[in-house]
Amino acid sequence: MSDSTLQQRNRGAYDQPFSGVGVEFLPLGVPPDHSGAVLHETGYLARNDWWQFPDVLSPFWRLYYNFDPGHSVVFGGHAIPLTPRHIVLIPAGHLFHCRGRTPARTLWLAFSSAFRLEPGQPAPIQLRPTPTELALLRDLARLIGTRRRATLATRPIYHRSLALLQLVLARPELRWQTQAVPEGIRRATQHIHAALGAPLTLPELACLAGLSVSAFTRHFRRCHGVAPTRYIMQGRVREAARLLAQTGATIEEIAERTGFPNRAYFSRVFAQLTGEPPAHFRRIHATEPPAG
């Protein structure tokens, strides 16, 4: 891909996690599941000769790895080189600049995390890749390579990307805030994940937690950052997004399987949370053809 072509196509992923030159997965608005991460995009350019994006400040995380030197990210006037020696991890909400016009093999992931770093954790975070991480990075570069989007096998890319994220986010160099979840809230949360397609009521969940409805709602919000009803809706939309992308089930079937009373209500909620109607999401992200 030439310099001029990249200039035209690469949007830089400022506000949305899709650069225009990567493999797109789940959009913003789909919250993390119990793994703690949502993969938005994985990209690889065998000749990235246009990487000029000033003032990047986005609501998602970045993972960068360059197989060749020549590019950098700039924080507060200090340039952090992108080289084969380090994975560079940039948390959401940090202002930085991308610099690079030297041809280089570049791999990146855009993702969201449910976890919060401790105050004072430096950014960006530079990590020497382990042999397993290096193997996954090389495998992703091989899978994406210079192939056209229409010929990519996206499922292996998705699973290897998630495996890489799980390894990186578990590194001891990352210091996460910890908060103990009370046993009753944990029990109710597990039930939500196991029964997303069934009716779920606040009295039922409060009973599982051994709390009154008002106390359950208060403690749940403290642990998860959102009210229980919002959490349930987010979980249903997340599962619906997976089914839209990875199965051939109809939209009506997916609405029923994820606890929505009808397609119209499902479509409205899905669009509100993700910014995309279900049919449009499927056209962009599907790895399986829809049912006939």
Torsion region of 100: left, alpha or beta (phi above 0 gives left; psi -120 to 50 gives alpha): left
81 CB-contact burial (10 Å; exposed 0-12 / middle 13-18 / buried 19+): middle
% helix / strand / coil in the chain, to the nearest 5?
40, 20, 40
Domain boundary pick from 103, 135, 169: 169
Q: For the CA atoms of 72, 73, 74, 79, what is the dihedral angle to 10 degrees?
A: -40
The SS3 of residue 88 is: strand
pLDDT above 50 for 292: no
Instruction: Quote the pLDDT of residue 2.
Output: 47
Question: Model-level pTM?
Answer: 0.73
**Quick check: is 174 in a domain?**
no
Residues 114 and 199 in one domain: no
Number of neighbouring beta carbons within 10 Å of residue 82: 30
Number of domains in the chain: 2
Which candidate, 196, 282, 197, 279, places its Cα nearest to that of 246?
282
Q: For residue 92, what are its two tokens?
A: 């959401």
Number of H helices, E strands in the chain: 10, 10
**Quick check: is 178 in a domain?**
no
Q: Which residue did the predictor score with more confidence, 14 or 290?
A: 14
pLDDT above 90 for 282: no
Residues 123 and 165 in one domain: yes
- In sequence order, the 6+-apart residues with CB closer than 8 A to the CB of 266 are 240, 251, 254, 255, 258, 260, 278
**Quick check: is 216 in a domain?**
yes
pLDDT above 90 for 118: no
Residues 165 and 189 in one domain: no
Residues 31 and 158 in one domain: yes
**Integer Cα distance of 211 and 205 in angstroms:** 9
Instruction: Quote the pLDDT of residue 3.
Output: 45
Residues 276 and 141 in one domain: no
Using pLDDT thresholds of 50, 70 and 90, give the confidence band for residue 48.
very high
The SS3 of residue 130 is: coil
**Integer Cα distance of 69 and 81 in angstroms:** 7
